[in-house]
Structure 1
Amino acid sequence: MTESFSADQSVTLVISELVREGHIDAYERWARELHALQNQQPGFLGVNVIRPSDPAHPEYVTIVRFATYEALRTWQESPQYRERIQRLQDLIVGDVHYQNASGLQLWFDRPSRPAPAPAFWKQVLVGVVGVYPLIMLFSTLTSPVTSAWPGWLATLTTATLSTLFLTYPVLPLLTRWLRPWLYPTSR
């Protein structure tokens, strides 16, 4: 699927890989090498790895962030990246699954079939519908404890709790419920 990004917009690449049985240690070494190289790339912002919770199904999800789509593309076209990807084929089962996202897209539960990202205004509207009740709820629940705290600390507490619940389960549930409206062509 082709995504469109503005030149000044950061981009996140979500990568899913199912590691072959008996190859987890080799995969981990390969990933550390790759991440060390990424860390030297212009525009690289960071990487997070979600390790498998089920040893019988060792699927790794890696979240890579770059400052711009151009920086990501430059990295993906580099000889170092291409050489590492060739070595990866011996360590995984099947194909690598890639998903590019920018802005709020990463928070949205996308349909199983490829579909363009929802319009930005729809993403913002769903975000507000999700976050506003959480802010009100956590402001009310924490105010007995935080009312004597400095305003910035009370707000940080509310923002942290709201963000935790917004990320999971609120936005994934909202996007599932609103899928026909967010992704009208993917039914």
Structure 2
Amino acid sequence: MSDAAATTAMPPHSTGITLVVTERVRRSKLEAYEAWARRLHAVQATQPGFVGLHVLRDTNGPVAEYVTLVRFASAQALEAWRATPAYREALAQLDDFTADEVEYREAQGLEAWFDRPARLPAPPLWKNVIVGIVGVYPLIMLFATLLRPVTGEWPAWAATLATASLSTLFLNWPVLPWLSRLLRPWLYPTRRG
């Protein structure tokens, strides 16, 4: 998305659960919405099991679209957050800012970056595969080269495991989020705005 902003960086975890929230915010309410979101994110950061969050925003259309990925260590931690008075209070205020229904989706692992808001058509599988290759191949080459002095005498399976582990961590964060923003017009060519 253009005009993307990270609120809090998510560390490279491949476990846990990600709550993907898509909000379309009225232009007249952008400043108030962003202040509300900052307060909410500060409270979320104190919640047990909170891992991190990332906000993508596109303010080019008739309404601004915010996609927030909130990572929790487990489904139980997410449910505990949803049960808090702070969460319920924040939800009660959300209608003041949004232009239509807010979309909520839970995702695990890399699917949070490849799945899309329900109103957008899914990109073809071949596009997702290309994005994955573009993201992972340079990481594999980089880590294989960087680790060679350490893993050079290791068995091939162990050296490959070390390279694959680091590549997967960095692919999950920050490479795929960056590629998804950069290639969004190509992944979702029918998007209007």
Instruction: With the length of structure 2 as denominator, give the TM-score of the two structures.
Output: 0.57
Task: Give the C-alpha shift of residue 133 in structure 1.
Answer: 7.7
1:165–1:66 CA distance, 2 compared to 1 (3 A): closer
1:34–1:24 CA distance, 2 compared to 1 (3 A): same
In percent, how many aligned pairs have the same letter? 41
Q: Could you tell me how far apart the structure 2 residues matched to 1:111 and 1:88 are?
A: 18
Task: Give the C-alpha shift of residue 20 in structure 1.
Answer: 1.3
* Counterpart position of 1:43: 49
- Which structure exhibits the higher relative contact order, with contacts defined as CA atoms closer than 8 Å and separated by 6 or more residues? 2
Is the Cα–Cα contact under 8 Å of residues 23 and 91 in structure 1 kept in the other structure?
Answer: yes
1:10–1:84 CA distance, 2 compared to 1 (3 A): same
1:13–1:137 CA distance, 2 compared to 1 (3 A): closer
Q: Could you tell me how far apart the structure 2 residues matched to 1:104 and 1:98 are?
A: 17
1:79–1:52 CA distance, 2 compared to 1 (3 A): same
Letter in 1 for 2:44: Q
1:65 matches 2:68: no
Q: What's the Cα RMSD here?
A: 4.0
* Counterpart position of 2:92: 86
Q: Could you tell me how far apart the structure 1 residues matched to 2:51 and 2:140 are?
A: 33
Task: Give the C-alpha shift of residue 21 in structure 1.
Answer: 2.5
Paired residues for 1:131-170 under 5 Å: 134=137, 138=141, 159=167, 163=171, 168=179
Letter in 1 for 2:82: Q
1:84–1:133 CA distance, 2 compared to 1 (3 A): closer
* Counterpart position of 1:119: none
1:106 matches 2:109: no
Task: Give the C-alpha shift of residue 69 in structure 1.
Answer: 0.5
Q: Show structure 1 runs of 5+ residues with no match.
A: 1-8, 114-125, 177-187
Task: Give the C-alpha shift of residue 77 in structure 1.
Answer: 1.6
1:29–1:159 CA distance, 2 compared to 1 (3 A): same
* Counterpart position of 2:39: 33
Task: Give the C-alpha shift of residue 103 in structure 1.
Answer: 2.0
Task: Give the C-alpha shift of residue 57 in structure 1.
Answer: 2.9
Is the Cα–Cα contact under 8 Å of residues 135 and 176 in structure 2 kept in the other structure?
Answer: no
Q: Show structure 2 runs of 5+ residues with no match.
A: 1-14, 120-128, 152-162, 188-193
Is the Cα–Cα contact under 8 Å of residues 39 and 46 in structure 1 kept in the other structure?
Answer: yes
Task: Give the C-alpha shift of residue 47 in structure 1.
Answer: 1.3
Letter in 1 for 2:72: F
1:83–1:135 CA distance, 2 compared to 1 (3 A): same
1:46–1:137 CA distance, 2 compared to 1 (3 A): closer
Q: Deviations along 1:53-82, whole A, 9 cap, x unmatched?
A: 416330111110101111111111211110
* Counterpart position of 1:180: none
* Count, aligned residues: 142
Q: Could you tell me how far apart the structure 1 residues matched to 2:139 and 2:42 are?
A: 42
